[in-house]
Each structure stands twice: as C-alpha cells, then as structure tokens.
Structure 1
C-alpha cells in the first residue's frame, strides 16, 4: 500500500523541523554539498529569503513534517 502525505506551503512554525531535516542531510552527506550544521538563526534567515516568489513546501505524515522542498 502506498503511503499518503499531506503537502502544504510551509510556515514559520515549520522552521525547526526543516532545520532538523536539512541538518540530517548535511550529516549524512547525501542530500547537499553543505558541510556545516545550520543553527536556528541561519534557518530563520533562509526561510525568510524563500518566502517570496519561490515558497518552501513541506510534506506531513500524521501531523509531523517529514520532508521539504524549495
């Protein structure tokens, strides 16, 4: 059976979840060329820069953010 996810535009309340997912990609070295773990202030600034024409979307599973895309 295929799992279903709820896709929506992200909001400021998602920043911590996005940060955790992003940093996991840095630690695993499979999802980004970044090498430095990002703190909350960095991610807040990043989020604000992606809150204009090109929005950040997230995928939720049972109310938990499990993925994101910009």
Structure 2
C-alpha cells in the first residue's frame, strides 16, 4: 500500500480531532482529559509555526 505524506490543512481538522480524541479517551497518548473539537484543531493548525508543520498520511 502506498501512502502520500503532505502538509495538513484546515480540511483535515475533523480527522485530526477524531484521532487525537481517541488518544484522550484511551489515556495512552496524552495526559489531556478533555476532548477537543474540530474548530479547536483548526485554530491549532492556524497557529502552527512553519518550522513545526503538521503532516498527514493518506
């Protein structure tokens, strides 16, 4: 199976949120306890520095 790695966009916010919230619920990947919303993830993406990009695989 081939994957394509690319920079994340605001259109990816809902999927990123779903994955991140799974980590919160499972309590294995983060110490956070409150679920995040897609809008919060969009804001987070907008605030990222170009030096620290978010990437996605599809």
TM-score of the superposed pair, with normalisation by structure 1: 0.71
Moved over 3 A (4+): none
1:23 is matched with 21
Matches within 5 A, 1:26-65: 26-60=24-58
Corresponding position: 1:11 with 2:9: yes
Partners of 1:12 and 1:36 lie apart in 2 by 21
Count of residues in correspondence between the two structures: 58
Partners of 1:12 and 1:42 lie apart in 2 by 11
- Structure 1, gaps ≥5 residues long: 61-70
Partners of 1:38 and 1:31 lie apart in 2 by 14
- Structure 2, gaps ≥5 residues long: none
Aligned Cα RMSD in Å?
Answer: 1.4
